[in-house]
Amino acid sequence: MTNLTGRAQQPQGEWHGAPFADTLNEARRRADEARKQMEGDETNGTGSAAGGKPDIDAPANPEELMELQVRIARFPQLDSKALVALNALETKDALKALKELEAKGGGIRNPSAWICRTAQNLKDKQKERSRGLPPQPPPQDDVGCDVVDIVDHYADLEVSDDADEPAIKKQYRKL
């Protein structure tokens, strides 16, 4: 079967790319190479700051990056704004957000907007920690609030509780 350009067209519904096992093995191979390179950098003294403490801006380990890529692949509906928001986060925070999204399952109608909002919340928490402010307590439910008076609409209309619909409408029109 050919398309309008004369190229052979693949049948719908069949996968013609690399098998999943091959791509997973390739990802593992790359992670091993990156790990070996990082170990080599640490022995040369270029992978950490003076005193043996890791750099603040040091990249995440390959396992975390691979897990992040796998979790992002589970949500193909994420738009570019959500991906940019995840990219702006630290790897651990991005993983945390994706794990929460996965845990909520189908309860979220717009995963992209949820990721953007969660990323903003995580950035705000990060700023508060860097400024030394105490974390804000989560909002309280209305458990201890005053109970609102219950309104008796029948009494407001001056009709009995067992009044029929025409009588209620008549009194309502008189208001």
**Three-state SS sequence of 4-69:** CCCCECCCCCCCCCCCHHHHHHHHHHHHHHHHHHHHHHHHHCCCECCCCCECCCCCCCHHHHHHHH
What's the mean per-residue pLDDT of the chain? 74
Q: Which pLDDT does position 54 carry in this prediction?
A: 37
pLDDT score of 117 more than 80: yes
**How many CB atoms are closer than 10 A to CB 141?**
7
Q: Which pLDDT does position 47 carry in this prediction?
A: 45
pLDDT score of 29 more than 50: yes
Q: Which pLDDT does position 51 carry in this prediction?
A: 40
Q: What mean pLDDT is predicted for residues 140-159? A: 70
Q: Which pLDDT does position 23 carry in this prediction?
A: 66
**How many CB atoms are closer than 10 A to CB 93?**
18
Q: What mean pLDDT is predicted for residues 76-103? A: 87
Q: Are 97 and 119 in contact (CB under 8 A)?
A: yes
Q: Which pLDDT does position 52 carry in this prediction?
A: 39
Beta bridge partners of 54: 48
Joined tokens for residue 60: 């995440």
Q: What mean pLDDT is predicted for residues 164-170? A: 92
Q: Which pLDDT does position 20 carry in this prediction?
A: 55
Q: Are 61 and 73 in contact (CB under 8 A)?
A: no
- Whole-model pTM? 0.44
pLDDT score of 97 more than 70: yes
**Measured between alpha carbons, how far is residue 148 from residues 31, 61, 84, 144, 151 in Å?**
60, 54, 44, 12, 9
Taking the chain, what is the end-to-end CA distance rounded to the nearest angstrom?
Answer: 75
pLDDT score of 113 more than 80: yes
Q: Which pLDDT does position 141 carry in this prediction?
A: 56
